[in-house]
Structure 1
């Protein structure tokens, strides 16, 4: 049966929060609410928790919040902290720019929290272990959503029917909750696709700087990789190419012909080809994004994570901004927002929309920089390299962000204005 919250809604009874989606965002929100004396019911369509994808890079804007939730030691035990961030020429392998991360404690000193590479399954175990199953309902695929007065009515394909005071859609790029809020899909193919995998380190003898997070850049393609696991014994890679021009599959995945994964990397450094060929590649991932949404909420339903702001992964911020969303919502609800949910969801959107849109736009721009063709000439390539050398200065604002502090500052401003 759905659990109850210690917070009270405007009706005076315990607040009923329903979170759709048991991924990184949903589990983090459940933990963040519980830390603040609230509870939520999390409805996950899968019969068991299983993240799509291989790994995730967690930057300080997320790890500081996970540490505040008491997950720091468990997360550290299953993660690798990169030695450096390195940008390379994809064909020659030359180091274009490099910035220390673990080396010298540079990243933690600058941002106050670590940068980790972690397998998604391990991250999910850490989050679900912290939640200990409280309020988690598996095998619940949302079939219908409606609002009657101030009450949200949820129906699931397994026949379950639930009432809630607030519904939070953490249900991914093709979000049913978003369709209810916006009346449309609002998701589109980016024109780029990717090949990915997790490779045992022993299969990569040509790989330089094995524990660094590295971008290999070239015409119309790039390869990102970083070590994962408590022993740094595996490498997660994500190889992005321009095209195909259209995406006809209704799924994120499409089959490929033998050797098709290498087509965009002809003539690249042996370490790149070695990584691409280390595992059988039979499919490519279409990269989809959400168009910027005018509104993230309707009535007593609101969006978080990819359902609100799915972005290209070139800043590695999909999971990180989702964690920010979860903490922001939890802080607002704990600060008395349960008594005026309409105001709370508006305030949440105000605090999150501009930042996530800016990161979305920056990820598009970064895609263009990483994929510059030779035809742009040496001057443009030199300017790209200079941008990569300024990476900490240009993009440190992403990592320095403190979601809890931002909510606190907004609350103080609201108090002064009252």
Structure 2
């Protein structure tokens, strides 16, 4: 028994939690996901999967399941908020894939969740299991659930989001940091937008303007358009993807913007609205046999489009590190995982905060200087998209047999 691999309990059935369980089980580690909802429900709308995230999906055996629903935009097109003038454009097909050795995809978050769940197998997910507390017992870790039941494992991974119960239980409560902005999201069927010639090709649209910005891209195999509209809002403090906003509010917030933007917003029936929060980087993610992953460890604003990508990187690295551990060496493995991942996610948290202001400059010299910097974007972001999380682990990171 001394040489056996550890059993791992994963709290949270989102992208990070499901990916972690897949990675562990592919490496022969027993892993169970505990999800508080009664179903692995779709959350959010669309997400961007960069080359760095795509490599992780490929490693997990999940990329093939998304071939029909993912979209590979031809380019990232930065536009002036009112005139529609193209400020800069960067290829996202061909040159991008050649440089970073994987494609850039836009896809529904729910499609990624369902693909992960199908790969993992629903029999490895326990639903309706709301974590109330976690305790490191020295020889294991115990999850105590709200209904009074418990589960014990050699290690517990808190992948339960920005308001993580695992983090609060182990490290104590800490307030998230409010950005002073709200994000509106929605998925719009393309048939409602058939009158917009700009949508004839799959494009990642980024409209930058004073005090707010608007991003849109196709998902669901091109059958729907996802948008994110970010506006200043000191009074809206609800951080929830399920809270509804009003189309009239959006149209008022983007009054005077280019007709493409306002036409997309007008076609939206019920946008979700959520206050944008992140967290200060944690000094440590792990305590004994308990660690954190994804937003529970390093919640970041959406302005680098890297939240899901970083959860996938976390998951694969953690699976590879724990895959070589024994129950006796779990704590060392968790510390190693954290040491590998923390420096990168700290930089991305800071960069995501900085991008909010960069995207929302008023017309003038600062915006012009920003546009000139955008010309070098592929080089500036190469450290993100070109990152090979597995390559850093050396020969031991070779994929486990499927």
User: Under a length normalisation based on structure 2, what TM-score does the superposition of the two structures give?
Assistant: 0.93
1:241-284: CA deviations, max 9, x gaps? Answer: 122x2444475666656622223211001110111111224652
C-alpha distance 176-112 of structure 1, shift in aligned 2 (>3 A) = same
Give me the whole-angstrom Cα distance separating, in 2, the residues matched to 1:129 and 1:274. 37
User: Please, which of 290, 299, 306 is the counterpart of residue 317 of structure 1?
Assistant: 306
C-alpha distance 302-394 of structure 1, shift in aligned 2 (>3 A) = same
Written as runs of structure 1 = structure 2, the 5 A alignment for 1:354-365 is 354-365=343-354
- Asked if the contact 1:186–1:291 (Cα under 8 Å) also holds between the matched residues in 2, the reply is no
C-alpha distance 227-256 of structure 1, shift in aligned 2 (>3 A) = closer
1:32 positional shift: 0.9
Q: Which moved more, 1:36-45 or 1:317-326?
A: 36-45
Written as runs of structure 1 = structure 2, the 5 A alignment for 1:11-410 is 15-102=6-93, 105-204=94-193, 205-206=195-196, 208-209=198-199, 210-230=201-221, 232-243=222-233, 245-249=234-238, 259-281=248-270, 284-336=273-325, 338-374=327-363, 377=364, 379-408=365-394
Secondary structure of 1:343 counterpart:
helix
Aligned to 2:400: none
Secondary structure of 2:18 counterpart:
helix
Runs of 4+ aligned residues of structure 1 deviating over 6 Å after TM superposition are none
1:194 positional shift: 1.1
- Asked if the contact 2:36–2:128 (Cα under 8 Å) also holds between the matched residues in 1, the reply is yes
Give me the whole-angstrom Cα distance separating, in 2, the residues matched to 1:326 and 1:78. 22
1:335 positional shift: 2.7
1:338 positional shift: 4.8
- Asked if the contact 1:142–1:155 (Cα under 8 Å) also holds between the matched residues in 2, the reply is yes
Give me the whole-angstrom Cα distance separating, in 2, the residues matched to 1:17 and 1:255. 36
Secondary structure of 1:327 counterpart:
helix
1:369-415: CA deviations, max 9, x gaps? Answer: 110023xx3x212111012111101111101111111122899xxxx
Secondary structure of 1:77 counterpart:
coil
Unaligned residue ranges in structure 2 (runs of 5+): 398-402
1:148-199: CA deviations, max 9, x gaps? Answer: 2222121112332111111100000100111123212241211111111011
Give me the whole-angstrom Cα distance separating, in 2, the residues matched to 1:136 and 1:253. 23
CA-atom RMSD in angstroms: 2.0
Q: Which moved more, 1:195-204 or 1:151-160?
A: 151-160
Unaligned residue ranges in structure 1 (runs of 5+): 1-7, 412-418
C-alpha distance 251-228 of structure 1, shift in aligned 2 (>3 A) = closer
Secondary structure of 1:19 counterpart:
strand
Give me the whole-angstrom Cα distance separating, in 2, the residues matched to 1:255 and 1:60. 32
User: Under a length normalisation based on structure 1, what TM-score does the superposition of the two structures give?
Assistant: 0.89
C-alpha distance 298-247 of structure 1, shift in aligned 2 (>3 A) = farther
Give me the whole-angstrom Cα distance separating, in 2, the residues matched to 1:65 and 1:390. 26
1:20-68: CA deviations, max 9, x gaps? Answer: 0011011111111122121201000111111320111111111112112
1:218 positional shift: 0.2
C-alpha distance 60-88 of structure 1, shift in aligned 2 (>3 A) = same
